[in-house]
Amino acid sequence: MRYLNDEELQIATRFLFLSMAIVVLKQDIIYMQNGKFKIKEPYIELLEKMISMAINERRQLRKIMMRKNIQVVNLNKNDSFSSFLFTCQGREEKRNYFNPAIRKKVEIIIQNLMKKALQPPHAASVANT
């Protein structure tokens, strides 16, 4: 049964998957630094820009979550599923996610961050209006 409304759930899940994307991007920087790339700097710079954009978005989501009293708690994880508890103003909703589905959601977020990071500065400001 659903206890959180669509907006609350959308904010909470975006925060959750965006946080996961940040972890993946930070790991990718480490792999890139330790990898055998001849010229690493442009790739690392792109990943750092993506992380910065993601952290800024997550900061905004955290403000909204604090205002609406929304929390996300990691309950458990096994080989196939991960469980999370979403709470909002005393209401709770437990959701189970298939791990490959989580991976796909995180991948989509990373692709979107990459597209935004690669936009020319003028195009990015026009797209945000």
Q: How would residue 125 be classed by pLDDT, with cut points 50, 70 and 90? A: low
The confidence score (pLDDT) of residue 128 equals 55
Instruction: Assess contact for 33 and 40: CB atoms under 8 A.
Output: yes
Residue 128 has φ and ψ, to the nearest 5°, of -85, -5
Q: CB under 8 Å to 60, separation ≥6 — which residues? A: none
The closest alpha carbon to 113, from 41, 28, 31, belongs to 28
pTM of the prediction?
0.88
- State the pLDDT at residue 35: 86
Dist. CA 81–CA 97, nearest whole Å = 5
User: What pLDDT score does 71 carry?
Assistant: 96
Tokens of 61: 């989501």
Mean pLDDT of 99-118: 97
